[in-house]
Chains A and B, each alone.
Chain A
């Protein structure tokens, strides 16, 4: 559910979590995006960074420049006055994926787990348009949902020490893409050549929170 008033959870003396709801849900996530957009529009003195996530916005601030009490007061005002119509129009991005084989080492396991053929798994994965709930874990990693019920799969029992850059993966009811080679515990279905993060471009990611992604098999 969406909370009528956000729940504040301070994290130490320089961060505050603002929770907008109790679950992963488009309307709860939208409220986070509204607060995030409002804070970017009217910057608050002393706020250093904003990390929007599934159902919360983390605000990093300088406690010598703004007190927790003042920050919470400002946020309550913004929460009431945030105008949903001011959110930018989302884009839908097509991500081309090479499924299976060396680039999708878990495709067969996922298929067996669900009693499906690999082709059916690919059809299920490419058949839904996914919402990007947040970018996190590493620069450019998109957390997207939800997977169709028939594809809800646990993480790997043993995470991989090294997941290749561009790996397209699933875990529980979410799907994601690894922007760089890193350790990872998600099930790898395939790989894309799309560059997910470039620190020398603006914006540094082609995918943003609130956008939609459609996977296509090649």
Chain B
């Protein structure tokens, strides 16, 4: 088991952080899960590179990352198409590539989606904090020093040479997700759907909302037809736990889809995005439009089961 220098950050981009599948078990201390918002893309990137699904990767937002490879390794880029380049030439996504010292990885700019994931065969070696290598920027822990990546950062990997045989392993073309600018998210109503009159629920399920610029890893703020709670109810509720995908409606009636950097909230939640569609939240960006579709609990389970099987099939083919 050998930890070696793997990657040097030349340009970090607007927000590149180390994330894995997040930290669970510390909600009672106010610690949110953090982790990759598009967990499907992170897991696929890992499996293609021969890692277990939950290894730490880089979550690259919109564009800008430029990095130099420091050792022979295999890497993969999945998620949003930020036009990855390898030594100035287009790099195919959802596929393992072998890279050697001196190679340069960069991104030309956002073509579709919002966040790309970079895995290294051998993972990213960092001391886990509270069970995870995910970065919590607002409280400053996890990842390298609890912050986003900066120019000059060096990332390490464990025995990357063991993964060199992964070059060429890829996700089937017909299984690769494609991201547009119009989203349809499947939801289950509640937990406070009963606090909204039928007209508000009807409006919510039939309207298209725009993703605003006030969106980040804490939440996606939407703008569109306001959702008014039933008359006589106070604006806020007694604070309680929330999960990613819960859709909060504050006093102004503009919904907010909760993401991964918060764990409690004091507003009513009209509906919650199903697990199978949570990864899509990581690819939505300002200017996109979203609609919501109510599904049954059984349909939600089936969708999750199918998604898990797809990931399992990548793991098995290796």
Seen from chain A, the residues whose Cβ lies within 8 Å of a Cβ on chain B are: 9-15, 17, 23-24, 36, 48-58, 60, 63-64, 68, 134-141, 143, 179-180, 182, 197, 199-200, 203-205, 208-209
B129-168 at interface with A (beta carbon < 8 Å): 129-130, 136, 138-142, 146
Instruction: List chain B residues, Cβ under 8 A from A15.
Output: 241, 243, 246, 272
Most interface-central of A23, A24, A49, A68 (chain B CB within 10 A): A49
Q: Which residue of B lies closest to A62 (CB)?
A: B275
Tell me the complex Cα distance, A11–B271, Å.
8
Check A60/B243 contact, CB under 8 A, given A36-B28, A138-B139: yes
Given contacts A53-B238, A139-B136, contact A12 B275 (CB under 8 A): yes
**Cβ-defined contact, B29 with A11, below 8 A:** no
- Interface of chain A, helix or strand or loop or mixed? loop
Given A53-B238, A205-B29: A13 touches B138 (CB 8 Å cut-off): no
Closest to B247 in A: A12
Tell me the complex Cα distance, A14–B239, Å.
Answer: 19
Closest to A142 in B: B30
Given contacts A11-B269, A199-B142, is CB(A143)–CB(B274) below 8 Å?
no
Q: Is B31 a contact partner of A139 (Cβ separation < 8 A)? A: yes
Name the contact of A48 in the complex, choosing from B25, B192, B305 (C-beta under 8 A). Answer: B25
A/B pair count, beta carbons within 8 Å: 147
Tell whether B242 is near chain A: CB-to-CB under 8 Å: yes
- In the bound complex, CA of A139 to CA of B301 (Å): 31
The smallest beta-carbon distance between A167 and chain B, in angstroms, is: 15
User: Which residues of chain B have C-beta atoms less than 8 A from A53's C-beta?
Assistant: 238-241, 264
Given A48-B24, A52-B28, A182-B138 in contact, is the A10-B275 Cβ separation under 8 Å?
no
How far is B29's CA from A162's CA once the two chains are assembled, in angstroms? 22
**How far is A200 from B31 in the complex, measured between Cα atoms in Å?**
13
In this assembly, does B180 line the interface, its C-beta being within 8 Å of a C-beta of chain A? Answer: no
Contact of A64 with B241 in the complex, beta carbons under 8 Å: no
If A11-B242, A11-B243, A209-B28 are given as contacts, then 6 extra A-B residue pairs at C-beta distance below 8 Å, sorted by A number, are: A50-B27, A51-B27, A51-B241, A56-B240, A139-B32, A179-B139
Q: Closest approach, in angstroms, between the C-beta of B146 and any C-beta of chain A?
A: 8
Tell me which residues across on chain B come within 8 A of A10, comparing CB atoms: 188, 190-191
- Which residues does chain B contribute within 8 Å of A24, judged by CB atoms? 238
Known: A64-B304, A136-B30, A141-B30. Is A54-B241 also a contact (CB below 8 A)? no
**Considering the chains assembled together, what is the distance between the CA atoms of A35 and B45 in angstroms?**
39
Task: Select the residue from A12, A52, A57, A60 with max chain B CB neighbours within 10 A.
Answer: A12
Identify the 5 closest CB pairs spanning chains A and B, nearest first.
Answer: A58-B241, A12-B272, A51-B241, A136-B264, A9-B191
**B 175-209 binary contact with A (CB < 8 Å = 1; else 0):** 00000000000011011100000000000000000
Residues of B within 8 A of A135 (CB): 28-30
A204 to B129, CA, bound (A): 11
Return chain B residues, CB-CB under 8 Å to A9.
190-192
A60 to B258: give the CA distance in the assembly, Å: 15
Interface presence of B280 (CB below 8 A): no
- Chain B residues contacting A12 (CB-CB under 8 Å) are 187-188, 243, 245-246, 272-275, 300
* Cβ contact within 8 Å between B191 and A17: yes
| In-complex Cβ contact of A11 among B32, B238, B246, B301 (8 A) | B246
Contact A136 B24 (CB under 8 A): no
B116 at the interface (CB under 8 A from A): no
Task: Give Cα A13 to B188, complex, Å.
Answer: 7
Q: Say which residue of A54, A57, A180 sits within 8 Å of B138 (CB atoms).
A: A180
